[in-house]
Structure formats: structure tokens, C-alpha cells
Amino acid sequence: SQTTRKVAKIIKGMGKKLVAIRHPMPYGDLEKQACQRFATHEDLDKHECTIEEREEYEPHIDNGFVVYAGVDYQKILSEAQKEADVILWDGGNNDLPFYRPLLHIVLVDPHRPGHELRYHPGEANFRMADVLVINKVETSYPENVEKVRANIRLVNPEATVIEAASPIFIDQPGLLAGKRVLVVEDGPTLTHGNMEYGAGAIAARKYGAAELVDPRPYAVGSIVETFAKYNHLSNILPAMGYGKKQIQELEETIKRADADAVVIGTPIDLRRLIKIDKPAVRVRYELQEIGEPTLEEIIKAKLG
């Protein structure tokens, strides 16, 4: 996430070598994938990573950080500690940290107020957090932000609270104005994350797209099944890619879509994996704290 990227850059700026350890993500031969190290894009290919895995590893790699993941987390920790001053546990999908942290930072999404008390292990993280970051406040309803704050006061009043924005940028701002666009979003956010939109849709509207094209009439293979299973989705295409066949089906769905341009809202550049035959823009977003304290102040106080 943009929060993890921000933390990594802060620690690097302190002159410390950081290695990220991601929560378990392998889908293939678990013995073969017991301890995986990712430092280059070639490593992603070597380990035959799914799109979901790439979405988490690639941003770290692009920023110059090594990422470990796999199955055997004692072995992973032993290997990571050989080359790191600081370990950053990157726990997606609300996963609990497998290692006891010196500083436990948890992200809260006011676009989904109340979820912080509704799901496990998200609620456990919410209760244990040293720092709670309420992100995306600039695009959330004020009453939703207040609901999250009320839940913090209710169950974790000792936590330090940071409010933050998640400003969105695209690499070719003039390409979307007045156009019919196909928005491809981060898959897990839309599917088991149960969101109806993501950064791509927000960017498309921000930069003047005339219409978000409904991808369902153009879907093929397992992408059709995805829309049937997650029927809350309509004018957004989740970047499904749990294997070569599904990645090919994603490519074919994009190719078939009647759109002027494609908005890549995933954390990775899909053009590295598939051929997109339409003009495409990539969405980027970073964490921007509002007021004080900042993550940098908190981390420096903890790590020196």
C-alpha cells in the first residue's frame, strides 16, 4: 500500500537498510515457494507470480527494496535479517503480523466505515495498533471519517491517530478528457474487498472521462465467472490473473472492450504482462499526512 511505501522510504531516509516481508501469497507449489526473495522484475517472472502477488511486490522493487514472502516464515525471517537493519512486515488483507512489532501501524478506510469492527483479523489489528492511519479522508464523507474516529475512541483510545489523503495522479492527464474509458482496478480490492470502485475510477472521473465502459459484455472465460460471483461490479474490470490462462483472458477482455482508452488502476504497470491495444494511462497514488503527528515523527521517535 502507499502507507507501506511511505514507511519504507522514511526508514531508508534514516540511513537504515530495510527489507519487506509480505504475508503469505503463493498459490502454486508451496514446498518450492517456502522462502522467496524478490529484488528484480525477473524474480517475479522466475517465481511465476500472479497479478495479485505482483501488485504487492513490484512497488517495493521499483523503490529499490527487497521483498521476501512464501510459506516458512521462520526461514524467511532468518534470511531477511542477514541483509536488513529493519524488517517491515507488509500484512495485506488485514493479516496479523507474524512477528511481534516494535511499532504496529494499521490502516483504516473511511470508504468502508465499520469494517474495522466487523471482520477478523482486521478488528484484532485495529485493537492492537499503536498507530491508526485514517486514509482517503479527502474523498470520504465526513460522517464516515467521524464514524471511524468514534470506533477508535471506543476500542483503542490509546492509539496515535493520523489522518491522511491519498492524492491520485496519472501519467497522461490529457488522454481521458471526454473519452469512453475502460477502468482496470486492483482485483482483491473489488472482489473479496467488496469495493465497487478504486483509484482508477476516481482518476477517470477526476480527469474528465465521459463514461466508464461496462466490461461485462466483453468478458471471456473466467472473467465472466468473476462478474457472476461478484455481482456488485459493473463498470469496473478487476485485474484477475491467477495463472497464465486467466491473464490471457484479462488481455482478451480488454482487447474486446469498446473503449477509447484504458485506465490502469492497479499498483503495477499491466503493460509489462499483457498487450493493451488501446491508449493507456497509469494511476499512481501516495500517502499524504494531514497535520501532525506524521509517520516520520513517530518512526524516528521509535527507531532513533
**Can you tell me the mean pLDDT for 239-253?**
93
CB proximity list for 78: less than 8 A, separation 6 or greater:
none
Are both 137 and 189 inside the same structural domain? Answer: no
Are both 186 and 236 inside the same structural domain? Answer: yes
Are both 271 and 146 inside the same structural domain? Answer: no
Residue 52: pLDDT band with limits 50, 70, 90: confident
Look over the chain and give the mean of its residue pLDDT values, rounded to a whole number: 93
160-207: pLDDT as tens digits = 999 999 888 898 888 999 999 999 998 888 887 778 888 899 999 999
Write down the pLDDT at residue 93: 61
* Enclosing domain of residue 253: 170-285
Query: Grid cell 469495493 — which residue?
Result: 195
Number of domains in the chain: 2
Are both 175 and 69 inside the same structural domain? Answer: no
Percent of the chain clearing pLDDT 90 (strictly above)? 77
**Can you tell me the mean pLDDT for 266-289?**
92
Around Cβ 190, how many Cβ atoms within 10 Å? Answer: 24
Are 203 and 283 in contact, with CB atoms under 8 Å apart? yes
**CATH code of the domain covering residue 25:** 3.40.50
Are both 153 and 181 inside the same structural domain? Answer: no
Are both 28 and 159 inside the same structural domain? Answer: yes
Are both 52 and 138 inside the same structural domain? Answer: yes
Residue 94: pLDDT band with limits 50, 70, 90: low
Q: Strands (DSSP E) along the chain, which ranges?
A: 18-22, 35-38, 66-70, 86-90, 105-108, 131-134, 160-165, 168-170, 180-185, 211-212, 237-238, 261-264, 280-285, 288-290
Strand-pair category, 168-170 with 105-108: unpaired
Overall residue count recorded for the chain in this entry: 304
Are both 25 and 144 inside the same structural domain? Answer: yes
Are both 263 and 175 inside the same structural domain? Answer: yes
Are both 238 and 153 inside the same structural domain? Answer: no
What is the dihedral sign for C-alpha 171, 175, 179, 182?
A: negative
97-116: pLDDT as tens digits = 999 999 999 999 999 999 99
Are both 84 and 132 inside the same structural domain? Answer: yes
The pTM score is: 0.86
Are both 99 and 229 inside the same structural domain? Answer: no
